[in-house]
Amino acid sequence: MDVESITEETELHDKQSELDVAPALIAVHPTHHSLVVAIGSELRVFDLQGSCCVILGDGSSGHKDSIRAVSYGANGKLFVSAGDDKLVKIWNTDTWQCIYNVSSEKRVTAVAISNDGHYVSFADKFGVVWVVELEGLHQSSAVVEKKPAPMLSHYCSIITGLEFSPDGKYIVSADRDFKIRVTAFPTKPLEGAHEIQSFCLGHTKFVSCFTFVCNQEYPQGFLVSGSGDSTVCLWEYESGTLLNTCEVGAEAGLLQSNGSEEDILPVITDLCASRDGSLVAVAVQSLPGVLLLSCNLSVKSLSIVRKITITEEAFIPTCLSTSSTSELLWLVMGVSNLKGSVSPSLARVRAISCFGQNSEPIILADSEIPGGEQLLKTLQGNLSIEKEVFSRTAEAVKIAMNNLLIKKEYNVENREYRKRGRNDKKKYK
């Protein structure tokens, strides 16, 4: 074995172990009944109405590997979780019983529930989007196994986001090949979704997240997407028209110097729109806190209005969520399988109040959070977190995301060297 293949092998090994690192996820019930944090293979649920921890009822034994995607249905009756264990679990949010198990052939990267709650859709690492039809909220305690049907596919590209449009007419999927695809959601989705409405093309690196912004004037809404190119874009998604680009990284002064190489801009990790559609909260890879963008739908523009910094503990959120009935923005920072640490995982939950128009957002102290200490204990696991864990978490999340979504670049010499044995590279005289 020559030196090159040895280094390649160790690189591969490092990459594998870093890939196992999964960022923490957070999801709020659409009418603020409950709050879920997913960390590693664990789902932690807190009942916001009863102010108590929820024990999950699961006939089978929960997730066995990192959870990569969670979502509530539009009416809040269903919740779905999925990830690296190739298992999609569908939960009844009244009883928190797992009612359906769906087995996937590949690891799952994104999930969505149709607005009417009849279909659950999920995307795998090969770029295929699958769908299962549900027969309502059955009450039996046994978990029903379902078989998914393939619906559409992005050609061998990891899908990073999946959502139904607010009017339910379209299913939107984003991938690491810079694409956002808007597909008409058919009346018989089990037979496939073949009619592509549009592609939203404009990002120059992977699309990491997207969401819809709507208000009373525009109930069908617009699409807002964040990307590895450090921009947030506003789209008219039915035609795929790019309306506005906000250079978030550059404008917020988040330029990072990478030694001798070029300056790199930080990746957008998550987006969350306020319920009135006037603000979009943006989580950026190197920013402790969040950026608030003002979203003016009548003139179709996005602009940075405020930088909320949470510096006392270097809190760089990995996921954001809000509900349609409160003005609370929930944030989580966390990671599973943190190497070389006493605590194998970290989850830190924060909340920002007055997330909406014409109000001054306030970062809530732990004692002011609804549910208080009880909530934090349930979702974080413990109350006090060492400071040094935060910086290591931020680093681990960044490396894992880059390894997953950024294509490996070889310089010209390296590339030629790898092709040395090819017939078409031999010289002819």
Partner 1 sequence: MLENEAYLSKTTHLPRKRFFRARAHSNPLSDSHFPVPISPSHVDYSLHYPQLVVSSDTTSSKKVEFADIGCGFGGLLISLATLFPETLMIGMELRDKVTEYVKERILALRKANPGQYQNVSVVRTNSMKYIPNYFQKAQLSKMFFLFPDPHFKEKNHRRRVISPYLLDEYAYALRVGGIIYTITDVEELGEWMNSCLAGHPMFEALTQKELEADPVVKLLSSATEEGQKVSRNGGQTFQAIYRRITPIS
Q: Which is nearer to partner 1, 36 or 268 (CB)?
A: 268
Spatial distance between the Cα atoms of 276 and 279, rounded to a whole number of angstroms: 8
Please list the residues that pair with 353 across neighbouring strands: 362
Contact 109, 93 (CB under 8 A): no
Q: Which is nearer to partner 1, 201 or 264 (CB)?
A: 201
Q: Which is nearer to partner 1, 6 or 190 (CB)?
A: 190
Enclosing H/E stretch for 120: strand 119-124
Minimum CB distance to partner 1, residue 166 (Å): 21
In terms of DSSP bridges, do strands 119-124 and 144-146 run parallel, antiparallel, or are they unpaired? Answer: unpaired
Q: Which is nearer to partner 1, 147 or 408 (CB)?
A: 408
Enclosing H/E stretch for 68: strand 67-72
Give me 243's structure tokens. Answer: 């309306």
Spatial distance between the Cα atoms of 269 and 271, rounded to a whole number of angstroms: 7
Nearest CA to 140 out of 43, 59, 73 is that of 59
Q: Which is nearer to partner 1, 22 or 405 (CB)?
A: 405
Q: Which is nearer to partner 1, 139 or 204 (CB)?
A: 204
Nearest CA to 242 out of 169, 180, 287 is that of 180
Distance of CA 297 to the CA centre of its chain: 24
Contact 246, 232 (CB under 8 A): yes
Minimum CB distance to partner 1, residue 422 (Å): 7
Cβ of 420: how many Cβ atoms within 10 Å?
8
Binding site for partner 1 (CB under 8 A): 126, 128, 150, 152-153, 155-157, 177-179, 183, 186-187, 191-196, 198-199, 201-204, 240, 407-410, 415, 422-424, 426, 428
Minimum CB distance to partner 1, residue 115 (Å): 18
Altogether, the residues listed in the chain come to a count of 429
Spatial distance between the Cα atoms of 70 and 22, rounded to a whole number of angstroms: 13
Minimum CB distance to partner 1, residue 104 (Å): 16
Enclosing H/E stretch for 379: helix 372-380
Minimum CB distance to partner 1, residue 280 (Å): 23
Spatial distance between the Cα atoms of 189 and 183, rounded to a whole number of angstroms: 11
Minimum CB distance to partner 1, residue 196 (Å): 4
Minimum CB distance to partner 1, residue 229 (Å): 10
* Helix, coil or strand: residue 374: helix
Q: Which is nearer to partner 1, 229 or 270 (CB)?
A: 229
Minimum CB distance to partner 1, residue 258 (Å): 21
Q: Which is nearer to partner 1, 357 or 403 (CB)?
A: 403
Nearest CA to 345 out of 311, 295, 379 is that of 379
Minimum CB distance to partner 1, residue 161 (Å): 17
What region, left, alpha or beta, does residue 289 occupy, with left being phi > 0 and alpha being psi -120 to 50 degrees?
left
Cα four-point dihedral sign 103, 171, 352, 233:
positive
Minimum CB distance to partner 1, residue 174 (Å): 13
Q: Which is nearer to partner 1, 71 or 198 (CB)?
A: 198
Nearest CA to 390 out of 325, 315, 328, 305 is that of 315
